[in-house]
Chains A and B, each alone.
Chain A
Amino acid sequence: MPVAVTSILTSMVTSSTVHTEALRRAPVTGTALQARKKRPFLLDLYSTSVGKKYAMAISGIAMMGFVLFHMIGNLKMYMGATALDHYAEFLRELLYPIVPKGVMLWILRGGLISMLFLHLHAAWSLTKLNRHARPVKYQGARDYQVAKFASRTMRWTGIIVLAYLVWHILDLTLGVVNATGTNGEFVTGEVYNNVVRSLDRPVVAAFYVVANILLGIHLFHGAWSIFQSLGWNNPRFNNWRRGFATAFATIIVVGNVSFPIAVIAGIVK
């Protein structure tokens, strides 16, 4: 490495006050592998930053799958109350009668919840690692060359989407924050009515729109990033990776944002 001795010696000639402590060699870590504790290989992989990126990517793919099918399922809204409610019932009956009603749905939910926690844990630990990697920030202004708004705001868009997810479950799964009053009460299974009653509130509709745009921004970087993190890099399809992420994010945003707008505009009522 060119950094080494010559330049440091030069500096010592030009300045007599060079601190000697910075010149001390760190321990040689080429032997770190032998010193490490034996662990099951998946835990071993997850203990490193590259392994955590794999966890981010794989859990990301699982949740992208969910987001896509959730959006497609919701399009049933445009076919009327019966179609949407029937679809919701179908989800409960997945794999019935191999398994009792609702069991398959809970297996899927369990998978998604664990993927979410994996995504959060990996994001949390990587953020911590990255903060430690630069304890003293640049004192002058940074001039980023290529880093996009989406990539620079992943943590913020992620946190806001998480808050939205909690609200969304309280609203349309549990009905806790669903609207009450003249339009009637939340009824589990009457999906169509529940959606219309909730999104009829302009503030809630606006929140849904904003949260879904932020989800789109998150996906715009995340869906591209997956390829790099998983080492899926090939000149044959590299040009398609950006296009895939843009298309995926756009489809999700257009679909999801259309629902609150349709309710507010009275197309779905």
Chain B
Amino acid sequence: MSHLKNLTLKVWRQSGPKDAGRFETHEVAEISDEASFLELLDVLNEQLISENKEAVVFDHDCREGICGTCSLMINGVAHGPQRATTTCQLHMRSFKSNDTIVVEPWRSAAFPIIKDLMVDRSPLDRIIEAGGYITAVTGGAPDGNLIAVPKPVADAAMDSAQCIGCGACVAACPNGAASLFTGAKIAHLNRLPQGQPERYKRAEAMVETMDEHFGSCTNHGECSAACPKEISIDVIALMNKDYRASKFKSRKEISRG
């Protein structure tokens, strides 16, 4: 059985990076409980187009919660009220009829607004370029279990590798820090044997690239609460530890631990 809801949307409109921007209020009537948040915006855009107005620009791609393209600050919470959920997987059942929903883009100096709700998140790419990979001749696919990885280690690395790079951590952080993202990417590789040769170089380069764009961590924990993949702030501690080691350890003696 489907419920229909009437909602009021306060949507951020901004014609370009230099525009000051403003909230615009729109009514959307009889939207189904089963509609996702992005479908709500689709319905709104159909409405706007039929009224000969410009559609709201927003980021979206896979719509199944794995690509990290959708964003949106919904009622002051990154990806909206439901924990561990991306905006595309957030449904109207999370709202009540006649609710007013405030929709804003991610706000960060590193994420300039392109238009309306769409921001440019490429500084996250800069962090990955600095060290979020392993340098190796990959050749053909190796045999399974050729490199032994203890199960708990593999699990921990996998937990970090879940990061989809949506930028919700930056959006939610009161300081606009990207520590959770950078920490997750560092932890993903630095926990695995394949990541060891470049471990400290990676931590150093990624942290310092992060510093060029983002704020600093004050351990609020908002990032982890906003993360659609529930990545723990444990990865930030690991990042801090490996960054310190990158400055203190003698790289020639590193094999001694």
Contacts and interface: CB of A to CB of B under 8 A. Distances in A.
Contacts of B10: 140
B174 to A, nearest CB: 6
Interface in A20-42: 21-23, 25-26, 28-30, 32-33, 36, 41
Contacts of B210: 49
Contacts of A129: 215-216
Interface in B175-227: 175-177, 201, 204-205, 207-212, 214-222, 224-226
Interface in A165-209: none
7 contacts: A14-B57, A30-B205, A49-B215, A51-B243, A129-B215, A133-B110, A228-B219
Contacts of B122: 1, 3-4, 25-26
Interface stretch (B32-40, B89-97, B234-242): B234-242
A48 B208 contact: yes
A135 to B, nearest CB: 5
B114 interface: yes
Given A15-B115, A138-B107, A145 B77 contact: yes
A258 interface: no
A239 interface: no
A45 interface: yes
Interface residues of B, number: 86
B99 interface: no
A2 B67 CA distance: 6
B111 to A, nearest CB: 9
B160 to A, nearest CB: 13
Interface of B: 10, 12, 15-18, 21, 23, 54-55, 57, 59-61, 67-69, 73, 75-77, 102, 104, 107-110, 112-115, 118, 120-126, 128-131, 164-167, 172, 174-177, 201, 204-205, 207-212, 214-222, 224-226, 233-234, 236-244, 247-248
Given A3-B121, A19-B17, A50-B239, A233 B234 contact: yes
Interface stretch (A64-72, A147-155, A249-257): A147-155
Contact of A134 (B112, B123, B176, B211): B176
B204 A33 contact: yes
A41 B247 contact: yes
Given A143-B77, A147-B222, A152 B17 contact: no
A144 B222 CA distance: 7
A11 interface: yes
Interface stretch (A91-99, A111-119, A219-227): A219-227
B130 A32 contact: yes
B76 A141 contact: yes
Contacts of B69: 2-3, 7
A132 interface: yes
A130 interface: yes
A106 interface: no
Contacts of A142: 76, 174
Nearest to B103: A140
Contact of B240 (A30, A132, A154, A228): A228
A53 B217 contact: yes
A231 B240 CA distance: 5
A140 B171 CA distance: 13
Contacts of A28: 126, 129
